[in-house]
Structures are given as C-alpha cells and as structure tokens.
Structure 1
Amino acid sequence: MRSKDIVIIGAGAAGLICAAQAGARGKSVLVIDHANKPGKKILMSGGGRCNFTNLYVEPDCFLSSNPHFCKSALKGYDQWAFIAQVDQYQIPWHEKEEGQLFCDNSSKDILDMLLADITKVNATVEVLTQLKSVEKQTIGFKLGLEKIDKKKNVISTEVIQCQSLVIATGGPSIPTLGATGFGFQLAEQFGHKVHTYRASLVPFTWNNEDKPWFSELSGISLPITVTAKSGKQFTNQLLFTHRGISGPAILQVSNYWQPGESVKINLCPSVDVLVELKRHQQTDGKIQLKTVLNQWLPKRLTDKLMERYFTNKKLAELNSNEMSLIANQLNHWHFIPGGTEGYRTAEVTLGGVDTNDISSKTMESKLVAGLYFIGEVLDVTGHLGGFNFQWAWASGYAAGKYV
C-alpha cells in the first residue's frame, strides 16, 4: 500500500498550485485526476490564451454566502504574486481590457509553468485515475483508487493512505472536460453543507415569445449596459446567438440572475434616447425614425425592432407618448430569459461547499481534520475576467502552505 503525506483530488488550477506549494515544504504529494491530462480547463480558457488573472482583484468581485471568506486567501497570494511567477518563467502576456491578463502565445504556457513547479518539488500527477472510496481513519485517510483507460474501463485498483486530503475537483461546469459535482458529494459525505449550485457566467436562452423575433440576429454584437434585479450593473458587449444572448455583459450579470427574473438592458448606453428623439424632432422632423435608430444600433437589429415594436414614421409625426415608448424599449428593455445554456457552456459553477465550516486561512475543514477544499468547489464565485483563476491560485496556495 502506497502512502503519501497529501493526496489532491483534481489536477486543475487550484490543485496544481497547491501541490507545488506543499511539495516545496518537503511533503510527498500525489495529484490524481480522472481526465486524460491535467489542466484541461486551463488549456481551453480565454480562447486558448488563458485569462490567468486580473489587475483589479478585489473581494467585492466575488460572490459567496460569506463575502468575507475570500479576503484572507486573496491577500495572502494576490494577482501580483501570480504575475511575478509568470514573469519568472518569461511567459509573455498582455492586458486585453478591464485588467484582464492573457498569455501572448498559449494557455499551455501557464500549464507548463505549473507542471514545472510540481516537477521541481517531486510531486506526482497521475491522470486517468479516479477516486472510488474515502475512509477517514484515526489519523489521515484511506483511499480506494481506480486506474482507467480513455474509455473509462477499469484497468487496476489500489488502496493508498494519506495524512491530508485536498478536494480540488471544481464544479460541474463544462462536462465535456470531465467536470462533475463529485466534490460536492464528498463534502456532504463528511457532513459539510453544500449551497444550492447552478451554472453561471453563462449565456441566456430566449423565452418562447422573443425567440421567433430575435433568433435571426445571431452574430450581431453591440455595447450595452445590463442591470440585474439586485441592481448589479455591467457595461460591455452583448452578442445575439441562435439560442439567446451572450457576450461579456450577459455572462457577468448571469451571476446575479435568478430564474424567472428579468434583466434590464440598455441597448443605447451612451444615448438618452428620449432626449435625442426630441432634439431630432425639433431640428429635422422629416427624418424617419428608422434612420435615427440606425445611427445608434446595427441595421439588422433596427429592422427587427421596427418590425416588432415601432412604426416607421417621420419624427414630426411621433407624439410624446410614442417617443417615450420607443425610448423605454431602447434604454430599458426588460428581458426575461427562458433560462440559461446550463453547464454545457458555463464558465463556472455558482454556489458550492459552505465556507462557514472552512478555515479562511488554511482552507481546512472545521469538521474533519486533514480535509481541505480549494477552488471552484467552494461557495466562492468570481466575476468574468480572470477572477476565478485568481481564486484558484489564492485558495490553492493558502492550503499548500498548511496542508
């Protein structure tokens, strides 16, 4: 029977950085993952260039039932610390927008960096290995492992002992990468509460009423401001798709949306439509409404809005009530999503293991000695733009210092 100081379940961002940090302290570390290679979410992130952190990481960029929980880890290993590590490996990077940092070349640069750090400290990563059983012992844990092939056939089994067990399994977002809710099951096995979880940073789908009108607009993008019922607001791009609406602004607000709620979308965030319509009416009343709207919106979108909501009159022919209705539709479109695209395209899972029973300093369970939770499996979810990776780095580093 093999014995290790630490076994980490999940070879993603949090698990890998935790392994490197723990190994640097002289601990024997094994990382296992049921996927066929480590860091699959790292590799696909940021369009293959990995949005690895953000220049403007603050605690209020994260959602949690316990909003203070993330502060200690984020302070202990901040974005500047990770940037310094990237620079040490001479990985070229750039800021795209709003502090979002991407690799110039490939996401593989970040994964290679993490794996190099693990190799330096003689930690081991074993893929195509799944955890089948966990038993708490007087000291440490006894784990039942299965080696599998790419078709998930069991090749061999093994029992291994460890002093500490780290759950870095993430959530069920993007199941094609092998993501599951397994970490939540483990948490509940050991008596931890798991907050209701769902797909987030995810596109909205059309409701039945809007779909026939707007699904033809797939591919159109425009800057908007979107506001959730809670008042949380984001300004960025909206993208029309066959299935609904996406783009950075929509992904951001999905963190704050609840099923059945509407979101308010300002299709012309830089224009007070009512004021401008009245001004045009005074200065050039003969101009057609459609002509004015084309100044602010993509033509295909204008055509669809005219078809559904407006009559193409000359501005001089519009009365005050009509102009108010037009302005309200453009500056305050109340859109009720039919739902979301779910875990298939969600960047993260919102919710997860209740942090009230986790040490914010060490990530260790307060219920079970030697059990740790890091990364997305915890009830900590960041905004779009590198924040969730920074949480992975920070929480993994925190656990790695103490595990």
Structure 2
Amino acid sequence: MSTNLIKQTDFDAIIIGGGACGLMCAVQAGFLGKRTLILEKNDKVGAKILISGGGRCNYTNLYSSPKQFISQNEHFVKSAFAQWTVDDTVSFFETYGVSGKEKTLGQLFPTSDKARDVVKIFTDLCHDLGQIIKCEAEVKSVEQTGNGFEVVYEQHGREVRVGATNVIIAAGGLPIQKMGATDFGLRTARKFGMKIVDTAPALVPLTITGKDQQWYEQLSGNAIFCRVWNDQASFEENILFTHWGLSGPAILQISSYWKAGEFINIDLLPNENITELILQERELNGKKSLLNYLATIYTRKFAEALEGYLPIDKNLASLSKADLETIEDLIHNFKVKPAGDKGYDKAEVMRGGVSTDELSSKSLEAKKVPGLFFGGECVDVTGWLGGYNFQWAWASGFVIAQNI
C-alpha cells in the first residue's frame, strides 16, 4: 500500500463525514474564507439526506426548539439553536433555490420533493468555495501532533496522511450500517478519554414476540390514529401494525423514550370517549352489534381482531356497565410490552453518544482536546421525528464552522 503525505498547512480543518453536519460545516467555513477537506466513506456525500423522508428530505421543522430533543443535558442545544435558527435554515435553502412546503406538524420538505436538490446545494457550494470532497475515503485514525492533528485515511487501496489545525467529527451514528454507518465518532471520542452516553436505536419500530405475535401479524397493514405515551412523553400520530409488531410515526417517536422491559400505553381513540359514543349510538340503534359499530370507527379487520378482548357479538343495547368499562379500558388504555426494537438498520437515528459534558455548548469543541469538534448525530442530542435531527445537524455544522 502506497502512502501520500499532504502538507500540514493545506487545510484549516478536516471534516470526517459528508452528511448534513459535515456539509453545512464545510460551506459555512468556506463563507468565512477557511479551507476544509471532507472525508466521506461512501461513494457520494449526503447518503442519509438522500433517503430521508422517502427520498423527499424533511429538512427542518418549523416548531423546532430544545423541547424536542433528548439529551442528558436538556439545555445543551440552546446555544447552537440561538446561533442558527429555523429561520436561518429556511433562508439558507431559499437563497440557493430550495423553497419549502409545510406538511403535518411543522415538517418542511422541498417543494420539488427531491432530496437530491438539498444535497446539490452543498456539493455546488463546496465546489464554488474551493472546499475539497474526497469520497470512498475511510478514515483509519486521528492523531494529535505538535501543531494540530494528522488524519490517516485509505482511498482506493492507497493510504493518505493529511494534517490540519482542526478536526471535525461529523461521522454520524450507528444507523444505518448498509449505508456506511460505523462507531468511528464514538471510538475517536473514547480514544481521547471522553465520556460516552450509552447508545441505543431511536425512532425505531418495536417488535412483539411470543403469544401475542400472531395477533399483531393478522393486523399487518392496519393504521390507526392514536395517542401513545409512557411516563416520559406522549405523541398523537398514526401507529402501524406490522407482521413483527408496531411501527408508524407515534411508535417511532415513543421508541426514543422506551427501554426494554417497559410498557407503552396506547389510546386507540384520542380526543373522544368510546363509552359516550356507544351510548349515543345505542339510542339510535340498540340492535347494532358492537362489532358493526366498531367497524365504523376502525377497519373491520381491526374490529374483528378485538374478539378475544371485547364482547363484539353483543348488540349495543345488551352491553352491561362492566362491558362498557372493559371497552373503555381497552380502547383508551391499550397496554403493550414490546419485546425489543428492529435495531440500528431500521432506526432513523441513534440515542446517546458523545457526552455533552465533554463539549463546549457554544463551540462544540472538545474541552479536553483543543481543535477537536463533534457535531450531528454522534453527540448525545437526539431529536424527534419530523426534521428536528436535520435542524441539529445544520446548527451544529454552522457553530463549528464559526470556531475553527
């Protein structure tokens, strides 16, 4: 294997990872006249941007605030979000030709519905600003030197050593391995003696096994608008039954707050009371069966699946007070104990990461290692579903660029 040494003075910073954080950092550094090198393991930058939102890229959320982020330090993101706001994100993309359209719950997508338009902004700007992008470049190590860092990477069977005063770790988290995800950011932090908050898949479908699995399998494909909650958080969105358990936006959201062994609660008819609705319907048509009535609220398949839990063959007029209590408890407080989750390859993001205690909230520079910065998903900052994690990526990339 041949080795090539690039002069230490060539770059102000080396950015490891060409995702949302790394690309924004390179562009913002370029605006400030700083020269950066992006090292990207994949054959193109922005791999996760390109698949996000089903290829449409939900690139921010209009309601983004620190409240929608999970971290051991709930205040950590405040400085970054003060420096780079949602308005800044919207303005940045509009300036370079991508205007947004709001969908549900503040989610902003390009009007073109094309994630590649988002990536093209960054690749074009990097070219115009003289920022260098090296793809298929797998970083092997980051070492401190007398005047900064030396980064060793392998590209096309050739080992390259490159130096800079600053190194930015924007290598993402553990999802999704088939797209090149690794634990490089976490390993680098540990190497420099930094604490790591335990990691786990987040925004991930949940699995059901054992005696209940068949019940979920038969409902595969059924979606219901629900409120899903535990003692930490509550979300009102669709859930989706699958042959292996539960998915859908509300389940992905609560998964970030769920730990193995815990129950989650589901209100299958939020904002209404099933008992009141049944009593109203009983006055109009007491001979209607509970099955036929529930089939007007849910799919018939779902109503039929409740046979083992509810007296669905009874007509409404014959439902006792105890029956109504049973119905109300099941509909408004359906309890689920997932067996696990679908893992990092089905997770949107990673929970946990480099401890915020190790980083300056104002600059995202490592306190113990001057010139070493961490941004994006590898930090212990995890957003909700719906564009929040992109807002953190853009903000952290901007903040780092101001401080290199």
Please state which band the TM-score falls in when normalised by the shorter chain.
Answer: over 0.9
Q: Is the 8 A contact 2:40 2:135 kept in 1?
A: yes
Is 2:223 the partner of 1:221? yes
Tell me which moved more, 109-118 or 384-393. 109-118
Letter in 1 for 2:13: I
Q: Is the 8 A contact 1:49 1:104 kept in 2?
A: no
Q: Is the 8 A contact 2:306 2:312 kept in 1?
A: no
Q: Distance in 2 between matches of 1:29 and 1:287?
A: 70
| Deviation, structure 1 residue 69 | 0.5
Q: Is the 8 A contact 2:90 2:100 kept in 1?
A: no
TM-score between the two structures when normalised by the length of structure 1: 0.95
Letter in 2 for 1:132: K
Percent identical among aligned pairs is 38
TM-score between the two structures when normalised by the length of structure 2: 0.95
| Deviation, structure 1 residue 132 | 1.1
Please, which of 155, 158, 163 is the counterpart of residue 156 of structure 1?
158
Q: Distance in 2 between matches of 1:9 and 1:15?
A: 7
Is 2:68 the partner of 1:61? yes
| Deviation, structure 1 residue 271 | 2.4
Q: Distance in 2 between matches of 1:133 and 1:279?
A: 69
| Deviation, structure 1 residue 307 | 4.3
Partner residue, 1:187: 189
Letter in 2 for 1:138: G
Q: Distance in 2 between matches of 1:34 and 1:46?
A: 22
Is 2:22 the partner of 1:21? no
Letter in 1 for 2:137: T
Q: Distance in 1 between matches of 2:152 and 2:124?
A: 28
SS in 2 for 1:211: helix
Tell me which moved more, 380-389 or 313-322. 313-322
Q: Is the 8 A contact 1:239 1:245 kept in 2?
A: yes
SS in 2 for 1:265: strand
Partner residue, 1:243: 244
Partner residue, 2:380: 379
Aligned residues: 396
Q: Distance in 1 between matches of 2:184 and 2:395?
A: 22
Q: Distance in 1 between matches of 2:292 and 2:116?
A: 48
Partner residue, 1:285: 286
Is 2:141 the partner of 1:133? yes
Letter in 1 for 2:279: K
Matches within 5 A, 1:43-122: 43-105=50-112, 106-122=114-130
Q: Distance in 1 between matches of 2:99 and 2:165?
A: 38
Q: Distance in 2 between matches of 1:38 and 1:90?
A: 19
Unaligned runs of 5+ in 2: none
Q: Distance in 2 between matches of 1:229 and 1:337?
A: 16
Q: Is the 8 A contact 1:171 1:183 kept in 2?
A: yes
| Deviation, structure 1 residue 333 | 0.1
| Deviation, structure 1 residue 243 | 1.5
Q: Distance in 2 between matches of 1:271 and 1:200?
A: 30
Unaligned runs of 5+ in 1: 149-154
Partner residue, 1:402: 403
| Deviation, structure 1 residue 296 | 1.4
Letter in 2 for 1:69: F
Runs of 4+ in 1 over 6 A off after TM superposition: none
Tell me which moved more, 275-284 or 368-377. 275-284
Tell me which moved more, 337-346 or 204-213. 204-213
Tell me which moved more, 315-324 or 247-256. 315-324
Q: Distance in 1 between matches of 2:310 and 2:146?
A: 69
SS in 1 for 2:59: strand
CA RMSD of aligned residues (A): 1.3
Q: Is the 8 A contact 2:101 2:109 kept in 1?
A: yes
Q: Distance in 1 between matches of 2:17 and 2:96?
A: 24
| Deviation, structure 1 residue 195 | 0.4
Tell me which moved more, 18-27 or 59-68. 18-27
